[in-house]
Every structure is written in C-alpha cells, then in structure tokens.
C-alpha cells in the first residue's frame, strides 16, 4: 500500500488515513498498533474494497500488480480477507448455524446455476469444525450459542475458506478467554506457515510483540514508525503511538528504511 489517503464518510474535509504506506510479505505476520481513534480499523476496512470512507487515493499492490478494489467482492476476488473486530455485529449471522456462517463469503465455490450444493457445504463446515477445533456438537448449531472463542474460530474459518492470500485480523482475541487466545494465535502462525500474509490489528501490545515479525505504529491516521518485533518494546511502541500530529506528519527514519 502506497500513499493511501481516506476521508471521513460524512465529514468532507476530515482526513482519517493520511498518506499511509506499508507492506507485508508472504509468510509474514505484521502488526498494526495504535491508540483508539488512530485509524487502525478504518485503514483495514478502507483497503478491503473501500468498506469505509470516501475519497480514497493511493495505490494497492499484490505480487507487484496494482489492484483496483472498489467493492468488498473485488477484495475477496483479489484474495484479500478482513475479519472484523466486532464479530457479533459484522462478522457473523448469529441466528444462523455454523455451516452457513462458514460458507457465507464463498458461496460462489459451492453453487452452480444459482443453487448451493448443501452436501458440499456441510462437508466443508465439518472439515473446519475439526481443523479449527470449533467446540460444537454439530455444524447445525446456531452461532449465538457458542462461546466467544468458538465464534471467533467460525469467523476465521469463513475467511480462510475464501483462499485469501492476505488476511487482516482486527482485534482477533477481543472478548475471549486465555485458552481460546492461544488457539487463535496458533491459527495465525499456521496461516503464516502456509505462506499467507497476515496483518494483525490489536490494542494488546504483548500479543503483537509475541506474535508478529514487524509492527507498524499509527497515530492520527499516519504511519509513525515500523520496528522488528525482536527489537521492539512496549515503551518504544507507545512512544510512536502517542506522537503529536506534527511529528506524525513528519514520518520516521525507520519507515523510510522499511519502504526502501
């Protein structure tokens, strides 16, 4: 992503993402850290088929080819997935079952002549129930009866099934217990090992430090720095995350080195 700028959807002159650039390699886990209001979610959603904002400008490249993602469908077709921070409101259909939630973003893979192959859909859901260790007696169970951690695994199953090469995970461990958090980050590491490019947005700095290869910091919609996780500390990240607007607009030496 190069020089990405996004305006507020209703406030015409308000810049939410301001000339931001970053990259992620295949097989790499990259973190995005920032305080509330820094623009982390807005950045991811705007890249995911312009699901947020207006007046988008800048460039998005994948494997050296420029992408023009005007809709969410465009993003999915281009191999990009976004697991929202609010799984109950945006990530799941809570009154439907596990089977249909897993297939929701990939019905094109299961349908022919306008009809979904129910047997194949059931088979796929069962495979993810096993591989993702979703604790439910049956994939016909409604999602709202599952624990938070198992709901999150259904969300991840949905996006993994799209065969995405680039996966945005927005607050993937919010509202789940410690055991489920471990399972989620095991899945994150597995995705990276399979060659996926994974971007993790989190307000939990220890999680980013323990999971990511590199971490970008965001303040006032600007990328203020990038550091290797092996060299990063919570104090150093917090300093970059709390830069004043004038400092954020100036960029950092680390960012220039990473882009070069």
Average pLDDT per block of 10 residues along the chain, 260 residues long: 97 96 97 96 97 97 96 97 95 96 94 91 96 96 96 97 97 92 94 97 95 97 96 96 67 46
Enter the tokens of residue 237.
């990240």
Look-up of token digits 């420029």: 66
- The reply to whether 73 and 170 lie within a common domain is yes
- For residue 250, the model assigns a pLDDT of 54
- For residue 114, the model assigns a pLDDT of 87
CATH code of the domain containing 32: 3.40.50.300
The structure's pTM equals 0.90
For 169, the domain range is: 2-79+164-259
- Chain centroid, CA 238 distance in Å: 21
Distance CA 39, CA 22 (A): 14
> How many structural domains does the chain have?
2
Q: Which of 162, 177, 206 is the last residue of a domain?
A: 162
- For residue 88, the model assigns a pLDDT of 93
Q: In Å, how far are 72, 97, 154, 172, 207 from 132, measured between CA atoms?
A: 25, 16, 8, 14, 20
- The reply to whether 168 and 147 lie within a common domain is no
- The reply to whether 154 and 129 lie within a common domain is yes
């Amino acid at each position: 992503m190069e020089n990405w700028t996004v305006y507020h959807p209703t406030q015409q002159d308000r810049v939410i993402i301001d000339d931001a650039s970053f990259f992620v390699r295949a097989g790499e886990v990259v973190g995005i850290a920032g305080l509330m209001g820094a623009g982390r979610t807005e950045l991811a959603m705007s890249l995911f088929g312009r699901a947020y904002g207006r007046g988008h400008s800048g460039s998005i490249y994948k494997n050296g080819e420029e992408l023009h993602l005007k809709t969410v469908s465009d993003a999915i077709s281009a191999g990009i997935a976004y697991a929202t921070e609010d799984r109950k409101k945006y990530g799941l259909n809570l009154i439907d079952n596990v089977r249909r939630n897993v297939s929701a973003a990939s019905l094109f893979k299961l349908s022919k002549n306008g009809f979904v192959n129910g047997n194949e859909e059931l088979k796929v859901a069962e495979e993810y129930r096993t591989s993702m260790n979703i604790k439910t007696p049956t994939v016909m169970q409604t999602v709202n009866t599952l624990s938070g951690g198992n709901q999150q695994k259904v969300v991840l199953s949905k996006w993994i099934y799209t065969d995405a090469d680039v996966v945005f995970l927005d607050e993937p461990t919010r509202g789940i217990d410690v055991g489920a958090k471990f399972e989620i980050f095991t899945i994150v590491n597995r995705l990276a090992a399979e060659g996926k490019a994974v971007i993790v947005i989190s307000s939990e700095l220890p999680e980013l430090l323990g999971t990511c290869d590199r971490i970008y910091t965001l303040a006032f919609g600007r990328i203020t720095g990038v550091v290797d996780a092996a060299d990063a500390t919570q104090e150093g990240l917090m300093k970059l995350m709390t830069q004043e607007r004038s400092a954020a607009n100036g960029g950092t030496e680390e960012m220039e080195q990473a882009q070069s």
